[in-house]
Amino acid sequence: MTATKIAILGCSGRMGRLLVETGRADPDCRVVAGVEGPGSKALGQDLGALAGGSPLGLAVTEDARAAFALADVAIDFTVPAASLAHAALAAESGTALVIGTTGLSAGQLETIGAAAARAPILRAANVSLGVTLLLALVEQAAVRLPAADYDIEILEMHHRHKVDAPSGTALALGEAAAAGRGVSLEEASVRVRDGHTGPREAGTIGFATLRGGDVAGDHSVIFAAEGERLELGHRASNRAVFAKGAIRAAKWLAGRPNGLYAMKDVLGL
């Protein structure tokens, strides 16, 4: 079996370094490039040493186009603007792309979807296998527990450095709950409560956001009714689970037909 050739986009970030480490340890993968933006202090450094391991003999580059040409799959954990540029390069080259960037707007998601007509692209707000299964469970619970009786609240906590709120995973859980209820999350969600808000409106999906410390990611979905409460949740104790999920997704995506994929496709859900 030929090893899947992987390029890491945003290779000097916390997730990028983990992806390099995880990818080089996987016997079915070969890390072939690491990319950073112009002006990054990582440019020119050895990719393996940057990730805290032995040298790989690969210098970090800002030439994303060349990295796409070398790779079977590129993995992108960057920022929305960079992810859009990378989606365009995927469409240009036909190279598969895994996008784990969060904070993407509806318009940006549409742009990525359009690029997927010309390349296999997998986008996920959370690439952990546990969260992927949690999304399916939340949707099933929302189908079966009537909105008139069960209120849905989504609670998430992340480290102090996270810049978007609610988290992409929390929003994905909200989308799963809304899909189960057959409603639009945009119309049903309640993001802020402050002051005299009045009683809770039936059928809404509430969000609560916590930030602090080094929390890798805690998510809970609560179905609260008179007399009982069902809680479905996931806790990530470190970011390694995300790197492992992304590498698994990359190996699965290599060689797939053009189209937009999700982590549920990787697990066959």
| 2 labelled ligand-binding | no
Q: Is 10 annotated as a binding residue?
A: yes
**Which residues are designated catalytic?**
158, 162
What interhelical angle do 129-144 and 168-181 show, nearest 10? 30
Largest CA distance in the chain: 62
Express each pLDDT in 205-217 by its tens digit. 999 999 999 998 9
pTM above 0.75, yes or no: yes
How far is C-alpha 142 from the geometric centre of its chain's CA atoms?
22
- The DSSP string of 190-233 is E----S---SPPTT-EEEEEEE-TT--EEEEEEEEETTEEEEEE
- Is 204 known to sit in a ligand binding site? no
pLDDT in tens, 98-135: 999 988 999 999 999 999 999 999 999 889 999 999 99
**Sequence-separated (6 or more) residues with CB below 8 Å from residue 144:** none
Residue 238 labelled as part of a binding site: no
Q: How many helices, marked H, and strands, marked E, lie in the chain?
A: 10, 11
Separation between Cα atoms, residue 28 and residue 58, nearest integer Å: 19
- Contact between 201 and 118 under an 8 Å Cβ cutoff? The reply is no
The Cα–Cα gap between 31 and 9 comes to 11
Extract the tokens encoding 147: 């909105």
186 annotated binding-site participant: no
Q: What are phi and psi of 13, to 5 degrees?
A: -75, 175
Q: Per-residue pLDDT tens for 15-62? A: 999 999 999 999 999 999 999 999 999 999 999 999 999 999 999 999
Asked whether residue 126 is marked as a ligand-binding residue, the answer is yes
Domains and CATH numbers, the chain: 4-123+239-267 (3.40.50.720), 129-236 (3.30.360.10)
Residues in the chain: 269
Closest Cα partner for 153 from 163, 168, 166? 166
